Structure 1
Amino acid sequence: MKAAAFDYRSPDSLLAATQLLAEQAGRAKLMAGSQSFGPMLNLRLTRPQLVVDISRLAELAGVRVADGQVEIGAGVTHAAIEDGLHAALREHPMREVAAGIAYRAVRNRGTLGGSLAHADPAADWIVTLTALGARLTLRSPRGTRSIALEEFMHAAYTTALDADEAIAAVHVPQATTGHRWGYYKFCRKPGEFAEASAAVWQGAGQPQARIVLGALDGAPLQLPALAERIAAQGAAAATREALASAVHAALPGRDAVDHQLHTVCLARALAQAGLATAPATQPAGAHA
């Protein structure tokens, strides 16, 4: 299929882009890397009257460090993170995540902000940045606001973005000596959407980790009770039985296969972070 007819604009600033969104009152869509939006247009799953192209905005392509946080422009591509083009992210866990997203052709064009705004539950950034405790800067003609990523995604493909808002930047903690990190996902083959995933982050000096399950029906789920037990008891609290119990409690409506996949992903993410012993076997199609 081909996309339904639409008007196209390429503004010279993010403010101008959001003004166009405001004028259209819900009938316009932003386009960044277009790796998800393009197929949706062609399948006519979305039919905006106006497409606002922000892929060329230099103000969205920078990375800087301030007050222990890395501020990443929403237009930074997965490939730019993977290739270490920005010094602040060269030793950051986000570089490993970026390298495992889909295929190189997708990573060359796909953007960090575009992935988050799309809010696919199986996407890598949604779960890993929730574990990192990321915050987003949103801009509109009305001003700027900040929101925690864990409050941003309401459901599958549904976010807190207002019709005239755009993601301007993503803020994540710096990676410093002593941090703990793990991310594991299960895919049928490399490049496919994850069927289960888990991410773990513990900043240097933090009392406990953030443990998150992803690739669900909606937003990622945190496991704070498990994180508290591991902080208090160490790896002894991360037995296979304890992890399976935590997954079952968090996902009561899922079947046994889903529980198994998420339990394995969780165990391997915790093992990567040094907070559990690695399982003896690895399921086919799993990717760190």
Structure 2
Amino acid sequence: MKPAKFEYLRPRGVDEALKALAAGNGDARLLAGGQSLGVLLNLRMIEPKYVIDISQLAELKGIEMSGTAITIGAGVTHAAIEDANLNDAAGRILAKVAVGIAYRTVRNRGTIGGSLAHADPAADWPPVLMALDAKVRLRGPGGRRELPVSEFILGPLTTALEAGEMVESVRIPRLTKAARWGRAKFEIKPGDFAQSLAAILDDREARRARVVLSGRALSPVRLTGAEEALANARARSPADLAAVMKVAEQDLARVSARADEYDRSLNRVMVERALKEAFV
């Protein structure tokens, strides 16, 4: 299929893009990489009056590193993150996540901001960024505001973006040298969307323990009981791992209550694998 007719706009800056978005009065869509929007347009699942191309805006393509955070512009592609190989500690997490997204052609176009704004529950970035305590910077008619990823993503394909707003950047707190990281993803084929994905952060120096799960039927969610158990697992021994998993299973029963037996089993295995990686 082909898209319904729309007016293509190519603003010269973010301010101009926001004006066009406001003028669209809810009938405009932003085009960054187009890897999700293009499909929706072609299938006529959405039929906006305006498509606003922000893919070439330099304001959205920067990567800044400070002593406390890494800030990535919304227009930075997965490939750019892969190639930058950012020194984020814990084994260069961001580059490893980026390289596992689809294949290079998609990574050359798809953006981190687009992935967050689309909020597909099976996407790679949302659960990982939630585990990293990342914040999304939004820009709109009322200025700028920041939300933790955990508050930005409200459900499948649903975010806290308000009318006329766009994702401007993502700010990720720097990890300490003591940080441990684990990630397990089950996919039908390499680079595919996740059937289930677990992300674990254990940063003792920063006093941060995160256990996040997502998948095809589950938007990213923190397993708070497992996080508390992980924070208390000082030795990272096999006994500690078993104790954390015991609590995680209680969390899984809560968040996977509506899932079928296959998904429940898959989620459990992914959490256990991610924890084992973090405990190494």
So what's the TM-score if we normalise by structure 2?
Answer: 0.92
For the residues of structure 2 that align with 1:107 and 1:90, how far apart are their CA atoms? Answer: 23
Aligned to 1:263: 268
For the residues of structure 2 that align with 1:187 and 1:6, how far apart are their CA atoms? Answer: 35
When structure 1 is superposed on structure 2, of 89-98 and 223-232 the one drifting more is 89-98
Structure 1's unaligned 5+ residue stretches are 276-288
Structure 2's unaligned 5+ residue stretches are none
- Residue aligned with 1:228, SS: helix
Amino acid at match of 2:271: L
1:243 is displaced (CA, Å) by: 3.8
For the residues of structure 2 that align with 1:220 and 1:123, how far apart are their CA atoms? Answer: 10
Q: Per-residue displacement from partner, 1:253-279 (whole Å, max 9, x unpaired)?
A: 11221111111110111111117xxxx
Residue correspondence of structure 1 range 240-251 to structure 2 within 5 A? 241-251=246-256
Q: Per-residue displacement from partner, 1:188-233 (whole Å, max 9, x unpaired)?
A: 1112221111001123503341100111535311011112122224
Asked if structure 2 preserves the Cα contact closer than 8 Å seen for 1:113 and 1:168, the reply is yes
For the residues of structure 2 that align with 1:221 and 1:31, how far apart are their CA atoms? Answer: 27
Asked if structure 2 preserves the Cα contact closer than 8 Å seen for 1:212 and 1:220, the reply is yes
Q: Per-residue displacement from partner, 1:118-169 (whole Å, max 9, x unpaired)?
A: 1100000011001111101101132111111101111111111112011000
Aligned to 1:189: 189
For the residues of structure 2 that align with 1:201 and 1:242, how far apart are their CA atoms? Answer: 16
For the residues of structure 1 that align with 2:79 and 2:166, how far apart are their CA atoms? Answer: 21
Asked if structure 1 preserves the Cα contact closer than 8 Å seen for 2:73 and 2:170, the reply is yes
Residue correspondence of structure 1 range 1-288 to structure 2 within 5 A? 1-84=1-84, 92-234=92-234, 235=236, 236-239=239-242, 241-274=246-279
1:90 is displaced (CA, Å) by: 11
Would the alpha carbon gap of residues 91 and 56 (structure 1) be closer, same or farther in structure 2, given more than 3 Å must change? farther
Asked if structure 2 preserves the Cα contact closer than 8 Å seen for 1:75 and 1:113, the reply is yes
For the residues of structure 1 that align with 2:90 and 2:31, how far apart are their CA atoms? Answer: 27
Amino acid at match of 1:191: G
For the residues of structure 2 that align with 1:174 and 1:233, how far apart are their CA atoms? Answer: 22
- Residue aligned with 1:182, SS: strand
Asked if structure 2 preserves the Cα contact closer than 8 Å seen for 1:63 and 1:88, the reply is no
Asked if structure 2 preserves the Cα contact closer than 8 Å seen for 1:68 and 1:173, the reply is yes
Amino acid at match of 2:111: T
For the residues of structure 1 that align with 2:200 and 2:93, how far apart are their CA atoms? Answer: 11
So what's the TM-score if we normalise by structure 1?
Answer: 0.90
When structure 1 is superposed on structure 2, of 204-213 and 15-24 the one drifting more is 204-213
Amino acid at match of 2:256: L
For the residues of structure 2 that align with 1:134 and 1:73, how far apart are their CA atoms? Answer: 13
Would the alpha carbon gap of residues 149 and 138 (structure 1) be closer, same or farther in structure 2, given more than 3 Å must change? same
- Residue aligned with 2:219, SS: coil
When structure 1 is superposed on structure 2, of 105-114 and 174-183 the one drifting more is 174-183
Asked if structure 2 preserves the Cα contact closer than 8 Å seen for 1:177 and 1:204, the reply is no
1:62 is displaced (CA, Å) by: 0.6
- Residue aligned with 2:30, SS: strand
